[in-house]
Amino acid sequence: MYFLNFNYTKTFENYYGFTQLHLKEVQLGFNFIHGELDNEENPIVFGFGDEFDKNYLEFENLKNNNLFTHIKSFKYSQTTNYHDLTRFIESDDFQVYIIGHSCGLSDRTMLNQIFEHVNCKSIKIFYYQRSDRIDDFTEKTYEISRHFRDKGLMRLKLVPKSKSHAMPKPRKIN
């Protein structure tokens, strides 16, 4: 299992208890792609991550390097996180589980690379279920659609709601 964490904290690990102690027989990998709080070796990556956006192309044409200060792609070279992700998606077939990510455009370039990759076999949404039985599954599919250039491929890869699940409830932290 490979967890690509877009959060800067260990919230996912802590809340859901995915540790080597709980899953001894499964090799787990955690990639904090945007860095970690309080870890100088994995600095926080903030910024713009949509290189398909027309504004990004305008930045390139202006030839002003200061405009690239907060473009995520230029921050990824500070650690091995991006290369680790690339090695993982190139290595074998995989299924994407979306748990708690908004799938907004701030990560569009990376999510496009993952979602449209030939080794990505499906995308399963763990949707937020409100107590009144309303959920965000459909809204999440709208967000995911913006990361696909090939909408036919999107329809093939998205797991139907009937085979998806509500997000698991976090375990209590003592």
Q: Half-sphere exposure of 32 toward its Cβ, with a 13 Å CA cutoff?
A: 20
User: Identity (one letter) of the amino acid at 43?
Assistant: P
Q: What is the pLDDT along the chain (174 residues), one digit of tens a residue?
A: 788 999 888 777 766 665 444 455 566 788 999 999 999 999 999 888 888 889 888 989 998 999 888 899 999 999 999 999 999 999 999 999 998 899 999 999 999 999 999 999 999 999 999 877 899 999 999 999 999 999 999 999 999 999 999 987 776 655
Q: Which pLDDT value is given to residue 39?
A: 93
Q: Are 142 and 98 in contact (CB under 8 A)?
A: no
The domain segmentation of the chain, as residue ranges, is: 2-166
How is residue 98 written in tokens?
């979306």
Pairing of strands 29-32, 2-5: parallel
d(CA 148, CA 171): 34
Q: Which pLDDT value is given to residue 17?
A: 61
